[in-house]
Amino acid sequence: MIGNNSKVINEIESLQKKCAQKTEVVLSLSKELSVTQSEVNKWKAIAENFERNLAQVEFSLQTLTKADVKDLRSDCKVLRQKIARYEVETFYKIGDAQENYDTREGAKDMPKSIAINDSNIFIENLEKLTNKNSQLQKDLQALLCEKEELICDRDSLNRKIERLSQELTYLLNGDSNRIIDDIDGLIAENRYLKAQLKNAEEETGLTRATLKKYHKMIKNKIKVSLTDNATKSNGNRISAYDAEQIHKVIGSKALDLSNCDYSSLMELLLDLCNDRQIALAHQRNSNKILGERIVELDAKILHMNCTEKSPSRLSPRSPFTHADVGIQYDFQDLQNV
């Protein structure tokens, strides 16, 4: 029992020693922590001071650069004024020197080399000034032309604005001087006329192409006929056929046709088929335009019936009685072939 108590006492003493050591370590760590915290605060203050100084330096540099730019601009302006003044003074000096040179031209005591050098310098300066003057005159003329064009455009726009404002006042007030009652009808009619104009342009292009093609065919036919007349003495052989002769040539069994004749017939048939296809495409286009016009008019009539308006408000300038746009082709020749 006494031995156990002594062991417990020894353990308690060792634990007390360890606890004293731990407390010393904790105290030393707390001291180091306080020191490091103070250093951190110190470095933070230094960093804030450095940032503040950097911002002040940047602001001072910006102000200095702005002041330098202003000074440079003012210096450039002063230098330009000095240069212009110097050019004017040199111009007047050159004129005076030229006059003095003309007056002293017959003087014998003036050295020839100096006179020649001065005259060359004066002539060069005078040529430079004349070139500058001509360039300035050209620039001034171009500016005047641009000004006149802008004035004309401005006047035309003002006139358009006045007309539009006048028509708007007529429409809003219900005046009898207004252009037309039905603006939608006018827009639809404008679309229809644009489509017709486009269709007519396509027609002209196709007719020009066909004319060129037939012109080439006529030239080739004339050349072939001349060569046949020069080389063949047995008789004239038909080298090209028109649309009326194709049926007769194919139907007659008495004629002895060669490969050249059959090839010419095939070329002519192909040309006729191409022409008919072009005509059909053009007719489809015109029918499409007419269909769009009919749809627009039907929609307009339905809208007017729904709003209980009178049918007299339709545009009297575009009555839809019958419309036939495009080229009507006779397919009798093709059927006969």
Q: Does residue 60 register a pLDDT over 80?
A: yes
**How does residue 201 score in pLDDT terms, banded at 50, 70 and 90?**
confident
Q: Does residue 169 register a pLDDT over 60?
A: yes
In this structure, which amino acid lies at residue 267? E
pLDDT at 192: 80
The full length of the chain comes to 337
Q: Classify residue 47 as exposed, middle or buried by CB count within 10 Å of its CB (0-12, 13-18, 19+).
A: exposed
Instruction: Please name the helix (run of DSSP H) or strand (run of DSSP E) that holds residue 41, with its range, or none.
Output: helix 2-103
Mean pLDDT of 21-32: 86
Burial string for 113-152 (b: 16+ CB within 10 Å, else e) reads eeeeebeeebeebeeeeeeeeeeeeeeeeeeeeeeeeeee
pLDDT at 258: 65
The 10s digit of each residue's pLDDT in 206-257 is: 878 877 777 777 777 666 655 555 444 444 443 444 555 555 655 555 555 5
Tokens of 328: 């009507």
Q: How far apart are CA 148 and CA 146, in angstroms?
A: 5
Higher pLDDT, 192 or 251: 192
**Please, what's the largest Cα pairwise distance for the chain?**
163
Q: Does residue 107 register a pLDDT over 70?
A: no
The 10s digit of each residue's pLDDT in 250-307 is: 555 555 556 676 677 677 777 778 778 887 887 888 888 888 878 887 777 777 777 6
DSSP codes of every residue in 167-231: HHHHHHHT-TTSS-S-HHHHHHHHHHHHHHHHHHHHHHHHHHHHHHHHHHHHHHHHHHHHHHHHH
Burial string for 243-273 (b: 16+ CB within 10 Å, else e) reads beebeeebeeeeeeeeeebeebbeebbeeee
In this structure, which amino acid lies at residue 76? C
Tokens of 43: 């470095």
Q: Does residue 66 register a pLDDT over 80?
A: yes
Contact 192, 289 (CB under 8 A): yes
pLDDT at 293: 78
pLDDT at 238: 39
| pTM, entire model | 0.28
Per-chain mean pLDDT for the chain? 73
- Mutual angle of helices 112-173 and 2-103, in 10-degree steps: 110
pLDDT at 196: 82
Q: Does residue 94 register a pLDDT over 50?
A: yes
Name 311's Cβ contacts closer than 8 Å, sequence gap at least 6: 301, 304
pLDDT at 323: 37
Q: Does residue 27 register a pLDDT over 80?
A: yes
Q: How far apart are CA 278 and CA 50, in angstroms?
A: 86
Mean pLDDT of 86-90: 81
pLDDT at 260: 72
Percent of the residues in the chain that have a pLDDT greater than 70, as a whole number: 67
**How does residue 81 score in pLDDT terms, banded at 50, 70 and 90?**
confident
Cα 30–32–34 angle (5° rounding)?
A: 70
Which residue is it, tokens 């070329």?
A: 267
pLDDT at 65: 87
**How does residue 124 score in pLDDT terms, banded at 50, 70 and 90?**
confident
**How does residue 28 score in pLDDT terms, banded at 50, 70 and 90?**
confident
In this structure, which amino acid lies at residue 194? K
pLDDT at 69: 86
